[in-house]
Amino acid sequence: MKLQQLKYIVEVNNNNLNVSATAESLFTSQPGISKQVRMLEDELGIQIFGRSGKHLTHVTKAGQEIINISNDILSKVESIKAVAYEHTKPDQGALNIATTHTQARYALPDVIGKFIKHYPKVSLHMHQGTPAQISEMAIKGEADFAIATESMHYYEDLVMLPCYHWGRSVVVNPDHPLAKLSRVRELEIEDIAAYPLVTYVFGFQNKSDLEIAFNEAGQDPNVVFTATSADVLKTYVRLGLGVGVLASMAIDKELDRDLVAIDVNHLFGYATTKIGFRRGTFLRSYMYDFIEEFAPHLTKNLVSQAASMRDHEQVEALFKDIKLPMR
């Protein structure tokens, strides 16, 4: 059994059983991968992948268990390398962050600016996506950190640490009826539900705060447009496509002075942004520093405690008495 074989079966699984795509991503040949997978299966005496002719069709039950263990082994190998680099090149390396557009555009610029100034020899890479994509990148090891808010069920395999709370605003053009109504009284769910809505991708799925609020009020939101970018959503609000429901921190008082932002925290409450990493990951010193720069209460000692815990419930209990900042 070779580490290369374990890497091949993991990557074949990551590439949806497409051996050709796997070979391309690993800069090797398709026959070479197929041969090594067969050799591993012969050695173990079981099939990892089901087949129809030359094509892989599914992962067997035993194969899934082997792939899961292989993922852990390969992660440990990367941790061994990280330990070595920490002692030989403590201020050098790479940091890959997977997050949403809102976090990348409005929450991270100052943090990243300070980090790059302090660690000029660490190459930093930002990957933007939906909660599902962010989770997948972190679980596969393509990203060191996942920074996200909703759809936390995607992150069961990660250690997720609370960073800060943020509120939502309804965003409309100045002549919109909701802008006029907000000057008279606080908006209600029924007021917002009367108009087409534009909001974030997955904003009303998986029992989000928004979906719960509308359901409890007996309303069915008419979502006509979704996007991952707050800037794109504001563009379509300006075009009159619908009422925007956005993170309040995505409203720029100067750049968005042509829009009216109405605070609706009394309707939806606040959301919590978290930063996460794979369990068992060896965190470099500059990784601890990045986390603390992003969320000052997340000290190295506290992060290490959380990383040693078995599940999300224990992590949540660790932070129950810590008051998070509001953005």
Taking only the tens place, the pLDDT of each residue in 11-44 is: 999 999 999 999 998 999 999 999 999 999 999 9
Q: What is the CA radius of gyration of the chain?
A: 23
CA dihedral (210, 202, 310, 318) positive or negative: negative
In this predicted model, what pLDDT tens digit does every residue of 92-129 receive, in sequence order? 999 999 998 889 999 999 999 999 999 999 999 999 98
Whether 209 shows a pLDDT value over 90: the answer reads: no
pLDDT of residue 141: 84
Position 71 confidence tier, pLDDT thresholds 50, 70, 90? confident
Q: How confident is the model at residue 91 (pLDDT cuts 50, 70, 90)?
A: confident
Task: Please name the amino acid found at residue 282.
Answer: F
Torsion of CA 77, 78, 80, 83, to 10 degrees: 180
Render pLDDT for 210-224 as a digit per residue (tens, 0 to 9).
Answer: 778 888 899 988 989
pLDDT given for residue 203 in this prediction: 46
CA 20, chain centre distance (Å): 28
Higher pLDDT, 91 or 191: 191
Question: Sign of dihedral through CA atoms 24, 28, 31, 35?
Answer: negative
Look over the chain and give the mean of its residue pLDDT values, rounded to a whole number.
90
pTM above 0.95, yes or no: no
User: Among the residues of the chain, which ranges form H helices?
Assistant: 3-14, 19-26, 30-44, 61-88, 101-102, 109-118, 131-140, 177-182, 189-193, 209-216, 230-238, 265-268, 285-294, 300-307, 312-318
